[in-house]
Amino acid sequence: MQKVIVILGQTATGKSALAVKIAKQIKGEIISADSRQVYKGLDIGTGKITKKEMESVPHHLLDVANPKKQFTVVEYKKLAEKKIKEILARGRVPIICGGTGFYIDAITKGIVLPRVPPNQKLRKVLNKKTTEELFDILKILDKKRASNIDSKNKVRLIRAIEIAKTLGKVPKITEVEPLYKFVKIGLYFPAPKLQKKVEKRVREMFEAGLLKEIKKLKSLGVSDERLKKFGFEYYKPTPEKVITKTIQYAKRQMTWFKRDKQIKWFDGKEYKNIEKYIKEKL
C-alpha cells in the first residue's frame, strides 16, 4: 500500500517548516490541510507559508477558494484526493500538513460525507444566532451529533443543522477502508511554551499588516460575518484579543487530535527523531 505522510498539530507548532524540511529529504510535495489557508487573501491572518519559506517545495491547496463563499470539507476532500494521486503518479511522496482535524480525518479515515447543498436562506437565519443557541437547536435535532461536535464552532454547527433539516437527521459519518497507509506525526509544545509562541506569532502578524489585510478583504466584499468565521471577531482586532482566540482554538485542536490513536506525537523540536521515524515507516 502506498504511503502518505501527515504532519499535524496545534497552531504555531512549526508544522509548515517541518513539512518543508522532510519534503526536501524524501522528494515530497505538500498538501495543505488548513480550513482558512484555502482562501485567497488570508495570508498574514492565517500564518500562510510564503514563497521563500517553501524553499521551492511544491505546495497544494493554498489559495483555492473565494473568501466570500463557504468552502466545504467535501470540496476539500475531492481536491486533496486528486492531488495525492497526482503526486504519487510523479513518483513523489504526498505530505499532508495542517491543523484542521476534520480535513485530515476526511482524507485519512476514508470518511464518506453527506452531499447536501448550501441553504443560503437558512444560513442567513442561523448566522444571527449565538453558538449556544445553535448548539441547543442541534441537540434537539440530533443528540448524537451534538455529543461529538465542536460546540464553539459556528460554521460546523450551522452545517450540521443544515444537513439535519435537509435529511431529517444528521447522518452517521461513515468510514471506509483508506486507499493509502497514512503515517501520522503530531507536533506539540507544553502549554506555557505554546502560549509564548502564539503571542510572538500574533504580534508579528500585526507588525506585518494584519489590519491592512482585513481592511482589504472588506473592500473586496468579504462581510463582517465571514471575517468572524475566520477568527476576526472585531473590525479592528487587538493583539490581546487575537491571542486569546488563538489559544482557545489551539485547545480545541488538541481535543480533536487526542481522539486519534494513530498519531505519533513528538515535541516540536525533535527534528532528528521525527526524520528517523519517517524513514523507518517509509
Residues 82 and 20 in one domain: yes
pLDDT for 241-269, tens place per residue?
899 989 999 999 999 999 899 999 999 88
Higher-scoring residue by pLDDT: 24, 102? 24
Residues 37 and 154 in one domain: no
CATH number at residue 261: 3.40.50.300
Look over the chain and give the mean of its residue pLDDT values, rounded to a whole number.
Answer: 90
Range of the domain at 248: 3-112+175-281
Residues 217 and 125 in one domain: no
Residues 64 and 149 in one domain: no
pLDDT band at 112; cut points 50, 70, 90: low
- Domain end: 131, 147, 172, which one? 172
pLDDT for 211-239, tens place per residue?
999 999 999 999 887 888 787 755 678 89
| Domains in the chain, number | 2
Arithmetic mean of pLDDT, 180-196: 96
Residue with cell 519517517: 278
Residues 195 and 184 in one domain: yes
Q: What is the DSSP string of 22-45?
A: HHHHHTEEEEE--TTTTBTT-STT
Residues 56 and 8 in one domain: yes
Residues 229 and 93 in one domain: yes
Of the chain, the percentage scoring pLDDT greater than 70 comes to: 94
Q: What is the DSSP string of 138-206?
A: HHHH-HHHHHHS-TT-HHHHHHHHHHHHHHSS----EE---SSEEEEEEEE--HHHHHHHHHHHHHHHH
Residues 88 and 124 in one domain: no
Angstrom distance (rounded) from CA 234 to CA 251: 21
Residues 210 and 225 in one domain: yes
Residues 251 and 217 in one domain: yes
Residues 48 and 100 in one domain: yes
- Domain end: 153, 172, 191, which one? 172
Residues 179 and 232 in one domain: yes
Cα 133 from chain centre? 24
